[in-house]
Amino acid sequence: MRLILALSIILLSVPLHSHAFAGDVYDIGEPDAITLGTETEGYADIYTRQLKYRKSANEFREIISQRQKDFHAPAIETRTDYDAQLKELEKHRGTAAKTEEQ
């Protein structure tokens, strides 16, 4: 046990050397003069983009609405036919029940 304690103290007391030392000075040279041009490449016209987006979104909504109507049209027609047939069946049932009662 004492041996492990002595070895751990020795290992922890050994300084760890890194490759870059804090005292090293590197010559990086002189900074270049910065010149900025005054010409621009244009600007982002977000307002026109917003209007185009709104127009395309409205067109898309109209297309989706028309597709919904086209999709539901056969189901509505079938349901209307079913209701008409059901009413016709109820008429026959009602007349049959009336004739049996008499």
- What SS3 state is found at 6? helix
* 99 falls within a domain: yes
Query: For 56-93, how does the pLDDT look when each residue is reduced to its tens digit (9 = 90+)?
Result: 999 999 999 999 999 999 999 999 999 999 999 988 88
* 18 falls within a domain: no
Query: For 11-45, how does the pLDDT look when each residue is reduced to its tens digit (9 = 90+)?
Result: 777 666 555 555 666 667 776 777 777 777 777 78
* 2 vs 66: CA distance, rounded Å: 87
* 90 falls within a domain: yes
Domain coverage including residue 89: 73-102
- Give the number of domains in the chain: 1
* 87 vs 12: CA distance, rounded Å: 96
* 7 falls within a domain: no
At 9 the pLDDT is: 82
* 22 falls within a domain: no
* pTM for the predicted model, two decimal places: 0.41
At 60 the pLDDT is: 96
Structure tokens at 34: 């910065």
Structure tokens at 60: 């898309």
* 47 falls within a domain: no
